[in-house]
A and B are shown apart, each in its own frame.
Chain A
Amino acid sequence: MRSTIGAALMLACCGAWANMAAQGQRSQVAGIDVITDRTNVKDVVVIVGTLPAGDAMAESGSIAIPTLTGMMLDRGTESLDKFAISAQLENVGAEISFSVATQSVEIRAKCLKKDLPLVLGLIASELRKPALQPEEFDKAKQQFIGALQGSLQNTESRAEEAFGRAIFPEGHPNRPHPVADYLTAAKSATLDEVKAFHAKYYGPAHMMLVLVGDVPVAEAQAEIAKDFAGWSGGQDYIRPVKPAVARGPREVPVVLNDKPSVSVILGQATGLRYRDPGTLALRVGTAVLGRGFTGRLMGTVRDKEGLTYSISAGLAEDTIADGSWDISASFAPELLNKGVAATRRELDKWWRDGVTDTELAQHKQGIVGSYLVSLSTTGGLAAAVVTAVQRGYDLSWLDQYPEAVNALTRDEVNAAIKTHLDPKTMVLVEAGSLGAAGH
């Protein structure tokens, strides 16, 4: 498959962008979905990849195992220890990193064009043949436990955890586990569990590699074919058949001591995936409420009333499974009640009356413009490609997206708001020093 990323819409939208057209190529190489996209940058290649081996894949086993497995990837392979791997990268100024998200392991790398074979070879070795040595496993466990302990005091992550657990039912891939449970699981995790998880979930099936920049396409594909030859296995993402259902109104306090700012989340599960009808309309409508400095929330709760430094609204976690909608903000404890009341007031008004034609036109233009600017770097383009493909689109979506946004009508947007959201049943989470607010 071959697609011209960026060209068609840019020509239709504004002539200035027509020069930005980049060539995207997509093919199966060694069982991996490989996408390459050449841009004007010289000598630089950015690699972004995904593999379905995230936290949600823990199933009934230890919930710490997916993250611990991901942490073991850069701690040595069957042929190189971690210092040798790092030295090879440092000697050419290249970078490789792995992180574990809800459903996927995310691979990120950056290198000079001349070093692409080295970097692809190391990524392949680290994914396929991690050493999984006991000594390194103990160190990974200690660092994971330390990081978890640190997050216990973070108001934002504690609010997100409480919100996710309040809106997603048991068994839903987007339902997070409590940090305390992760701590318990991490302490008792075994290397055998990591080896079993790696054997089951790491493989080319459903894996994606995106290479953007000064990419020598044929050479890169040949290198991937060589480095990943003979690899098999892998699992698909978890795609719940039945969407999550909100359980009704509730307020969830998370009390943390000595926190001068309270993190607040107000929202609900949507039951929507990104590609579902109505999701894009809801996203654009939500932009009117909570995007940037000109969204209604910033315009009122921050600019007019001075109640917060940061407040925004958006949809999340809907790439693979059905996701969530929320308003996130921070308030001083003594302004918390006033801030939440102001937030609810704006939410209710937006939900009840919808958006205006003027607001919709302005935010559509801003969303499209910002999207096009974001494609001007290799990192921005790579991220857009990965997200689009994970959402189930082909590369032509990158051109079609602005058209889809521009085609939305006010009636469609306001109907999506009314259909998919209900302020009366939303969950309110407050994390911080709540005693100071008189709670």
Chain B
Amino acid sequence: MRPKVRMSTAIAACLMAAAGGSSVRASFAAAVAPGFSYVKSSGGIDEYRLDSNGLTVLLAPDHSAPVVTFQVTYQVGSRNEVTGTTGATHILEHLMFKGSEGYNDPKGNSVKQFLERVGGQFNANTSVDRTTYFATVGRENLEGYIAIEADRMRNLWLHEADRQSEMTVVRNEYERGKNDPDNVLLEAVTAAAYVALPYHHPTIGWKSDIEHVPIAKLHDFYDAFYWPNNATVSIIGDIEPAAALELVKKYYGVYPHSPQPIPPMYTEEPPQIGARRVVIKRPGELGTVVIAHKVPNGRDADQPALEMLDAILSSGKNARLYRALVDKGIALNAGSATDLHRDLSLHTVYAALAPGATHMQAEKALLAEIDRIKTGGVTAAEVARVKQQFIAADAYKRDGTAGVAGEINEWIAVGDWTLYISFPQKVEQVTPADVQRVAKKYFEEDQSTTGWFVPVQQAEKGS
């Protein structure tokens, strides 16, 4: 099971799999890596801090294959944007591939050229809470990638000509997303659910902001957030910890701590004082219903119970939503999920309507299943089944380094990477009473935002 953080991927999607470990180890590397402070360990992952500039480093050795996944997570996402700069984090992520002082296309050593030449599987993506750059490479290419990644932390080229050409690239990414009515519906529901928090706007931004954000604003963004003390480096795979830390110090140790404090995001969401509804009408064939409720941040103690609730509602054919909606011909598929955020998160249940089913029918069925949990709770057998799934998922995590990195990345964004280890353990402690309690606590009608995608039939031509 992984944290279900919605993200707007920037430059295509990529890898999968996992690795990890299970034992808590001593800080072996701290003793042989001067310049670093050992912070803590959990589940075979060690955390260090580079003393000179505050860079956080996570190491997870895994020698099952001669590959390494390296990623750097910046604590900046669309939550740090305001009107006029929505989507700026994501555009900046694109511009991070346009070259830096030491590594660029004219020199033939840019990040794209290097990683494709060595067969690296790489990408970058932006979410509401973070921006991440990562690659899985043969271990012999780790240093080459760290050097490039470190250079673009502070020596990025940010040229107006590049912004102009990349703006239309990002705009096409935005347009591709708008081809899918369900994406449009989810965007509308999210915008209605959040009034003040910047989660209100989509990570990719509003179209007019994508088109018009000036390069000076992007410079400001880069200079405010791309510093070692606002970043976490994760290295997972076939590494020796001391040697890996030396490489990190060699390339990232040249930078100072940010000259100014990282700008905080201090906006708080006001209380919701009534149910909200949105309707999207576009050409299409089948409708969709989404019901959202705001829930606490991803670190909150109630999140494991919400995770259990989501699994009981939507995992497998014995899930309640499958039995109540899919098996009864109301929905083609139905599910329940929580987007875990650094601040107030969003829980959604949804149903993709089956032919002949109505929106109201699906909405009533979704609400009835939520009410069943609120009034009748869940069974011990349902809870036990989900726990077994978490136990198996823990073993699946060990298959590959990129999957581990991807999951740790999301927990870094939420604000506590150790939840990668402890969250599944907390889910295994959840009781049926916990599930009923969180359902009662968070799924009030007055706190809901309901969205319908209503398809409009229009004539088509061509093949």
Interface hits, B416-463 → A, CB 8 Å: 458, 460-463
Q: Does B157 have its Cβ within 8 Å of any Cβ on chain A?
A: no
- Taking a contact as CB atoms under 8 Å apart, the answer to whether B119 and A366 are in contact is yes
Q: Does A393 have its Cβ within 8 Å of any Cβ on chain B?
A: no
Q: Does B367 have its Cβ within 8 Å of any Cβ on chain A?
A: no
Interface hits, A283-298 → B, CB 8 Å: 291-294
- Taking a contact as CB atoms under 8 Å apart, the answer to whether A261 and B401 are in contact is no
Q: Does B36 have its Cβ within 8 Å of any Cβ on chain A?
A: no
Looking across the interface, which residue of chain B has its beta carbon closest to that of A434?
B462
- Taking a contact as CB atoms under 8 Å apart, the answer to whether B176 and A309 are in contact is yes
Chain A residue numbers with a CB within 8 Å of B389 are 90, 93
Q: Does B155 have its Cβ within 8 Å of any Cβ on chain A?
A: no
Q: Does A331 have its Cβ within 8 Å of any Cβ on chain B?
A: yes
Distance in Å: Cβ of A274 to nearest Cβ of chain B: 20
Looking across the interface, which residue of chain A has its beta carbon closest to that of B176?
A261
- Taking a contact as CB atoms under 8 Å apart, the answer to whether A261 and B138 are in contact is no
Q: Does B52 have its Cβ within 8 Å of any Cβ on chain A?
A: no
Interchain CB contact (< 8 A) of A257 among B97, B117, B140, B460: B460
Measured between alpha carbons, how far is A165 from B178 in the docked complex, in Å?
A: 27
Chain A residue numbers with a CB within 8 Å of B176 are 260-261, 309-310, 330
Given the contacts A90-B318, A252-B462, A377-B17, A261 and B175 also touching, CB distance less than 8 Å: yes
- Taking a contact as CB atoms under 8 Å apart, the answer to whether B120 and A369 are in contact is yes
Q: Does B25 have its Cβ within 8 Å of any Cβ on chain A?
A: no
Chain A residue numbers with a CB within 8 Å of B179 are 154-155, 259-261, 432
Chain A residue numbers with a CB within 8 Å of B401 are 376
- Taking a contact as CB atoms under 8 Å apart, the answer to whether A111 and B392 are in contact is yes
Distance in Å: Cβ of B117 to nearest Cβ of chain A: 5
Chain A residue numbers with a CB within 8 Å of B66 are 16-17, 19-20, 376
Interchain CB contact (< 8 A) of B463 among A152, A165, A376: A165
Q: Does A241 have its Cβ within 8 Å of any Cβ on chain B?
A: no
Chain B residue numbers with a CB within 8 Å of A252 are 462-463
Chain A residue numbers with a CB within 8 Å of B460 are 255-257
Given the contacts A112-B392, A373-B136, A293 and B112 also touching, CB distance less than 8 Å: yes
Distance in Å: Cβ of B321 to nearest Cβ of chain A: 13
Measured between alpha carbons, how far is A146 from B356 in the docked complex, in Å?
A: 10
Given the contacts A16-B139, A309-B169, A261 and B121 also touching, CB distance less than 8 Å: no
Measured between alpha carbons, how far is A155 from B176 in the docked complex, in Å?
A: 10
Chain B residue numbers with a CB within 8 Å of A341 are none
Measured between alpha carbons, how far is A51 from B405 in the docked complex, in Å?
A: 35
Q: Does B391 have its Cβ within 8 Å of any Cβ on chain A?
A: yes
Q: Does B102 have its Cβ within 8 Å of any Cβ on chain A?
A: no
Interface hits, B303-317 → A, CB 8 Å: 315-317
Q: Does A419 have its Cβ within 8 Å of any Cβ on chain B?
A: no
Q: Does B360 have its Cβ within 8 Å of any Cβ on chain A?
A: no
Looking across the interface, which residue of chain B has its beta carbon closest to that of A144?
B332
Measured between alpha carbons, how far is A257 from B173 in the docked complex, in Å?
A: 18
Looking across the interface, which residue of chain B has its beta carbon closest to that of A147?
B332
Interface hits, B55-100 → A, CB 8 Å: 64-67, 97
Chain B residue numbers with a CB within 8 Å of A79 are none
Stretch of B258-266, B280-288, B406-414 contacting A (4+ beta carbons < 8 Å): B280-288
Interface hits, B354-379 → A, CB 8 Å: 354-355
- Taking a contact as CB atoms under 8 Å apart, the answer to whether A370 and B172 are in contact is no
Q: Does B393 have its Cβ within 8 Å of any Cβ on chain A?
A: yes
- Taking a contact as CB atoms under 8 Å apart, the answer to whether A253 and B463 are in contact is yes
Measured between alpha carbons, how far is A51 from B403 in the docked complex, in Å?
A: 29
Interface hits, B156-200 → A, CB 8 Å: 164-176, 178-179, 181
Interface hits, B107-146 → A, CB 8 Å: 112-113, 116-121, 136-140
- Taking a contact as CB atoms under 8 Å apart, the answer to whether A146 and B318 are in contact is no
Distance in Å: Cβ of B160 to nearest Cβ of chain A: 13
Given the contacts A255-B462, A369-B118, A90 and B388 also touching, CB distance less than 8 Å: yes
Measured between alpha carbons, how far is A162 from B460 in the docked complex, in Å?
A: 14
Chain A residue numbers with a CB within 8 Å of B282 are 258
Given the contacts A93-B388, A259-B179, A309-B170, A149 and B355 also touching, CB distance less than 8 Å: yes
- Taking a contact as CB atoms under 8 Å apart, the answer to whether B399 and A41 are in contact is yes
Q: Does B16 have its Cβ within 8 Å of any Cβ on chain A?
A: yes
Chain B residue numbers with a CB within 8 Å of A306 are 164-169
Chain B residue numbers with a CB within 8 Å of A434 are 462
Measured between alpha carbons, how far is A257 from B175 in the docked complex, in Å?
A: 14
Contact with B along A282-324 (1 / 0, CB 8 A): 0000000001111000000011111111100000000000000
Measured between alpha carbons, how far is A290 from B323 in the docked complex, in Å?
A: 45
Please classify how large the interface on chain B is, using the bins under 10, 10 to 19, 20 to 34, 35 or more: 35 or more
Looking across the interface, which residue of chain B has its beta carbon closest to that of A258?
B283
Stretch of A53-61, A81-89, A195-203 contacting B (4+ beta carbons < 8 Å): A81-89
- Taking a contact as CB atoms under 8 Å apart, the answer to whether B399 and A16 are in contact is no
Q: Does A362 have its Cβ within 8 Å of any Cβ on chain B?
A: yes
Interface hits, B271-301 → A, CB 8 Å: 282-286
- Taking a contact as CB atoms under 8 Å apart, the answer to whether A376 and B67 are in contact is yes
Interchain CB contact (< 8 A) of B458 among A112, A253, A257: A257
Interchain CB contact (< 8 A) of B285 among A93, A153, A162, A292: A153
- Taking a contact as CB atoms under 8 Å apart, the answer to whether A41 and B398 are in contact is yes
Measured between alpha carbons, how far is A158 from B174 in the docked complex, in Å?
A: 20
Measured between alpha carbons, how far is A109 from B89 in the docked complex, in Å?
A: 38
Q: Does A254 have its Cβ within 8 Å of any Cβ on chain B?
A: yes
- Taking a contact as CB atoms under 8 Å apart, the answer to whether B171 and A332 are in contact is yes
- Taking a contact as CB atoms under 8 Å apart, the answer to whether B285 and A370 are in contact is no
Chain B residue numbers with a CB within 8 Å of A379 are 16-17, 399-400
Q: Does A225 have its Cβ within 8 Å of any Cβ on chain B?
A: no
- Taking a contact as CB atoms under 8 Å apart, the answer to whether B385 and A91 are in contact is yes
Interchain CB contact (< 8 A) of A91 among B17, B140, B285, B388: B388
Chain A residue numbers with a CB within 8 Å of B67 are 373, 376
- Taking a contact as CB atoms under 8 Å apart, the answer to whether B286 and A43 are in contact is no
Given the contacts A306-B165, A362-B116, A83 and B318 also touching, CB distance less than 8 Å: yes
Chain A residue numbers with a CB within 8 Å of B327 are 139
Measured between alpha carbons, how far is A429 from B462 in the docked complex, in Å?
A: 11
Measured between alpha carbons, how far is A330 from B177 in the docked complex, in Å?
A: 11
Q: Does B255 have its Cβ within 8 Å of any Cβ on chain A?
A: no
Q: Does B206 have its Cβ within 8 Å of any Cβ on chain A?
A: no
Q: Does A368 have its Cβ within 8 Å of any Cβ on chain B?
A: yes
- Taking a contact as CB atoms under 8 Å apart, the answer to whether B463 and A39 are in contact is no
Chain A residue numbers with a CB within 8 Å of B175 are 260-261, 330, 332
- Taking a contact as CB atoms under 8 Å apart, the answer to whether A377 and B16 are in contact is yes
Chain B residue numbers with a CB within 8 Å of A431 are 462
Given the contacts A93-B393, A142-B354, A373-B137, A20 and B65 also touching, CB distance less than 8 Å: yes
Chain B residue numbers with a CB within 8 Å of A155 are 179
- Could you list 29 examples of A-B contacts with CB < 8 Å? A16-B138, A20-B65, A43-B398, A44-B396, A83-B317, A86-B318, A90-B388, A92-B392, A93-B391, A94-B392, A142-B355, A146-B286, A153-B283, A165-B463, A252-B462, A257-B460, A258-B283, A260-B179, A261-B176, A291-B116, A310-B172, A331-B172, A335-B168, A362-B117, A370-B121, A372-B138, A373-B67, A373-B121, A373-B138
- Name A residues whose Cβ lies closer than 8 Å to a Cβ of B: 14, 16-17, 19-20, 39-44, 46, 74, 82-83, 85-87, 89-94, 110-112, 139, 142-143, 145-147, 149-150, 152-155, 158, 161-162, 165, 178, 213, 252-261, 291-294, 302-310, 330-332, 335, 362-363, 365-380, 429, 431-432, 434
8 new A-B contacts, CB < 8 A, other than A83-B323, A155-B179, are A74-B317, A90-B316, A92-B388, A254-B462, A261-B175, A261-B176, A331-B172, A369-B119
Q: Which 7 A-B pairs have the closest CB atoms?
A: A369-B119, A93-B392, A306-B165, A86-B317, A377-B400, A40-B64, A370-B119
